[in-house]
Amino acid sequence: MPMQSRILYGIISLLVALLVISSTLTVYYYTVYNQASANSSKVESELASATTKYSSLASEYDGLIFTYNGSVTSFENLASVYNSTSASFLSVSNVFNQTFTLLVSAVSVLNTSDSAYINASQTLTQLWSQYLAITNQYKQLSSNFEAILSSFENKNNVNLHENIQPVPLTLLTSNILLDFGNGTNVWFNDTAVQPQWNLYIATLVITHGNMNASYYPQYGEHLVTGIDGVQDTSNDYWLIWSYNSTASWQSPLVGADELPMYNGSIYAWTYCGPDESANPNCSAP
């Protein structure tokens, strides 16, 4: 993790430096660059330290499970480590979220052909996979402890839930369809996403950065021209669909950057061409 952290913040520094050169928002990005440079070492250290501490406590908890015998002393030891593990998970989540914010802010205003975008998007998807693994581990650990806690309370006729609370998870789940226009449909069901993410970022993550797009700052949006290796041509291109509360597919009036992800949201990308009237010849999924 320390080496990866150094790579990560090297990428961020390069990325922001390129933004300073290429963007019309020079003053803003120069400020961001200075802030990133000043804080990179601190956040790098925090990311490595928080992850290492959490992994150590989670391993200690797993070890205590094997010796847990239902006694008061055994439960107190387990509860103590669980509380420490929860606090550590909260800490590591905060640091990861800070890192995601930096990376998402960067890829949101770059063309996918930029080397900084390529590196940042790959790093984002790699760190996101690591974070999901840690989150899933904590969810399983908390579920395990909840069962032990309930059993201990029933056995000893006590109520300890108010003193022992798991860290609330803020991840959302969404469903995204990629329809490649050749009969191949790939659903990414129950895809975990961050609050505040949009469809563009979510698609970048599920495709591991395998997208082509040009960013238009005057609109604040990307024009997506390729997903998972399938590129726009003069006859075929990618379209977006959203599934709304009326239980029907709609063609949104905005691009992927302006489509928010929310719990239970359903979106689709379809690849097709125009009909004789220049309208898309593909129907809703």
Residue 99 has a pLDDT of 84
Domain locations in the chain? 2-156, 172-272
Which pair of tokens denotes residue 228? 């998972």
Does residue 71 sit in helix, strand or coil? Answer: coil
**Closest alpha carbon to 191 in 117, 125, 138:** 125
Question: CB–CB of 271/238 below 8 Å?
Answer: yes
Domain 172-272 fold: Ferric Hydroxamate Uptake Protein; Chain A, domain 1 (2.170.130)
Does residue 29 sit in helix, strand or coil? Answer: helix
Rounded to two decimals, what is the model's pTM?
A: 0.83
Sign of CA dihedral 177, 178, 184, 188: negative
How far is residue 183 CA from its own chain's centroid?
A: 28
- For the chain, percent of residues with pLDDT exceeding 70: 81
Q: Which tens digit of pLDDT belongs to each residue from 245-276?
A: 777 888 898 999 999 999 999 999 999 877 66
Q: Which tens digit of pLDDT belongs to each residue from 11-39?
A: 555 555 544 444 444 444 445 445 544 55
Q: What is d(CA 3, CA 10) in angstroms, rounded to the nearest whole number?
A: 11
If you search the block for the tokens 């069962």, which residue do you land on?
147
- Cα pseudo-dihedral 34, 28, 7, 130, rounded to 10: 120
What pLDDT band is residue 165 in, cutting at 50, 70 and 90?
A: confident
Residue 27 has a pLDDT of 45
Does residue 220 sit in helix, strand or coil? Answer: coil
- For the chain, percent of residues with pLDDT exceeding 90: 55
Q: What is d(CA 262, CA 284) in angstroms, rounded to the nearest whole number?
A: 21
Q: What is d(CA 108, CA 199) in angstroms, rounded to the nearest whole number?
A: 11
Report angle CA 130, 210, 279 to the nearest 5 degrees: 135
Question: CB–CB of 111/217 below 8 Å?
Answer: no
Does residue 108 sit in helix, strand or coil? Answer: coil
Q: What is d(CA 104, CA 95) in angstroms, rounded to the nearest whole number?
A: 14
Q: Which tens digit of pLDDT belongs to each residue from 81-100?
A: 999 999 999 999 998 998 88
Q: What is d(CA 121, CA 98) in angstroms, rounded to the nearest whole number?
A: 15
Say if residue 128's pLDDT is above 80. yes
Residue type, 38: A
Residue 277 has a pLDDT of 59
Q: Tell how strand 221-227 and strand 172-179 pair up.
A: unpaired
Report angle CA 121, 2, 13 to the nearest 5 degrees: 45
